[in-house]
Amino acid sequence: MSKEIIKIEDLKREFTMGTETVHALRGISVTIKEGEFVTIMGSSGSGKSTMLNILGCLDQPTSGVYEIDGVSVKDLSRNQLATIRNEKIGFIFQSYNLLARTSAIENVELPLLYNSKVSTEERRERAIKALEMVGLGERLQHTPSQLSGGQQQRVAIARSLVNNPVMILADEATGNLDTRTSYEIMSLFQELNKQGITITFVTHEPDIATFSSRTVVLKDGEIIQDYQNHNVQSASAELAKLPKQED
């Protein structure tokens, strides 16, 4: 039985807008185990973003249990949340969010700059290793403007890996990419998952879900579906099926 990375029980999140209370999440329960590749799906307004924010320790639930790697998040302060994000979570965003005019390696080093336990040498070493893992070992000194969209997202993935997180949290990570590049990125995620990295992928594209091992579907703040995917598609195989690009 593998370790529980995420444990959510009867989690609720309410927002007060003037006199109205908006129920973004109406008591959901879900558990994610180590090594899983979960996609969280849902249309806009389903509570997907709220769940992502809570999963990413950017926001806190109104009530219910949220534990990440055995740590209960509910009563942590702003600073303690920052430390959790720094040590346990790797973020990947739709718009990459790389620092402009800053080299790939420095972008990847960023999370470690906020971790005083990591020395300068170790930081550099780990950043190089992470960039090699995503296949950018040759482009350490390139700035975002010198990289393609797919390469920029790879830098972002390397950045999410560099702190050895217990979970990678991707928010529409292929949303800005064309089909070919997004398949490339998905195959990279699958490879990382094979190496034992837990991935939670928030998306609204159904074909992305076919690459994951489990899918959770949200609607109106509730989980309406949660199923294991027994027929996981290989992204690299799908990539090979695409018509050849003309250079």
Partner 1 sequence: MRLFNLFKIATKAIILNKTRTLLTMLGIIIGVASVIAMLAIGEGSKESIRTTISAMGSNMITIRPGADDRGPARGSGGEVQTLTLKNFETIKEQATLLSYMTPVVNGSGQVINGSNNWPSTIYGVNPEYLNIKVVDLQSGSMFTDAEVQSASKVAVIGQTVVDNVFPDGQEPVGQMIRFNNIPFKVIGVLEEKGENTFGQDQDDVVIAPYTTVQKRILAIDYLNQIMASAISEDDAPEAVTQVTDILRTEHKLLDYEDDDFTVRSMEELISTFSSTSEMLTILLVAVASISLLIGGIGIMNIMYVSVKERTKEIGLRMAVGGKGSDILMQFLIEAILISITGGVLGVLLGLGATVFIEKFLNWPTSVALYSIVISFAVCAVTGIFFGWYPARKASALDPITALRYE
Give residues in contact with partner 1 (CB under 8 A): 53, 56, 58-59, 78-79, 82-83, 85-87, 91, 93, 97, 99, 101-102, 106, 110-111, 113-116, 119, 159, 163
Q: Which residue has the tokens 């989980």?
A: 223
Q: Supply the DSSP string of 4-38, one letter for each residue.
A: EEEEEEEEEEEEEETTEEEEEEEEEEEEEETT-EE
**Which CB, 34 or 93, lies closer to partner 1?**
93
Helix (H, G, I), strand (E, B) or coil at 162: coil
What is the closest distance, in whole angstroms, from the C-beta atom of residue 84 to partner 1 in the complex? 8
What is the closest distance, in whole angstroms, from the C-beta atom of residue 226 to partner 1 in the complex? 25
**Which CB, 86 or 210, lies closer to partner 1?**
86
Helix (H, G, I), strand (E, B) or coil at 104: helix
Element (H, E) at 181: helix 179-194
What is the closest distance, in whole angstroms, from the C-beta atom of residue 89 to partner 1 in the complex? 8
**Which CB, 49 or 234, lies closer to partner 1?**
49
Beta-ladder partners of 16: 21
What is the closest distance, in whole angstroms, from the C-beta atom of residue 116 to partner 1 in the complex? 4
**Which CB, 95 or 179, lies closer to partner 1?**
95
CA 172/CA 175 separation, integer angstroms: 5
